[in-house]
Amino acid sequence: MKGVSGAGRGTAYRAENAETGAPLLENVAAAFSWAARARGLLGRPPPPPGAGWWLRPCGAIHTWGMRYPLDIAFLDRDERVVRVVRALSPWRAAGGGPGAYSALECAAGALPEAIRPGSRLTFVPLAPHEANSARNIHQGEAGGGVGRSPCRR
């Protein structure tokens, strides 16, 4: 697996296209512990535009108990997209298929079109002042977000 140097617990990320460096999502919270993945977005408002939720490891997701649809990109261990599911309705499930190792979730319609099977992403840790702003969004402050979870890369 590709490592991100300097990343650690409490780090927020920016998702970028690995080939071009173009930013795709500005605020990505990570759910890398069992408890954070189990809770996920359940009971939380939809992520705001430009924000997402990265679950690792995660080969399948469900929207049972959710109040809104999600866009999901399943990634392999090299953060290459293996499957994209757009607008997965509440009370449904989706698997990433062979090779899926993590999932990037966004509110329906918020996953950039540039994220498609075969594209490779990279997750860049945000600077501390940027991370504080991102954490506020993910904690549901500053307009509502996806909740905070431990981050580790």
Per-residue model confidence (pLDDT) at position 5 = 30
- Please check whether residue 122 is in contact with residue 3, taking contact to mean a CB–CB distance below 8 angstroms: no
Instruction: Look at residues 38, 37, 42, 97 and name the one whose alpha carbon lies nearest to residue 64.
Output: 42
Domains parsed from the chain with CATH numbers: 13-138 (2.60.120.1140)
Q: Is the pLDDT of residue 137 over 90?
A: no
- Range among 4-18, 30-44, 61-75 with highest mean pLDDT value: 61-75
- Mean pLDDT to the nearest integer, 79-83: 98
Q: pTM for this one?
A: 0.80
Per-residue model confidence (pLDDT) at position 132 = 57
Per-residue pLDDT band for 134 (boundaries 50, 70, 90) equals low
Phi and psi, residue 71, nearest 5°: -100, 135
Q: What is the per-residue pLDDT across 37-66, written as a single tens digit (0 to 9) for each?
A: 888 888 889 999 999 999 999 999 999 999
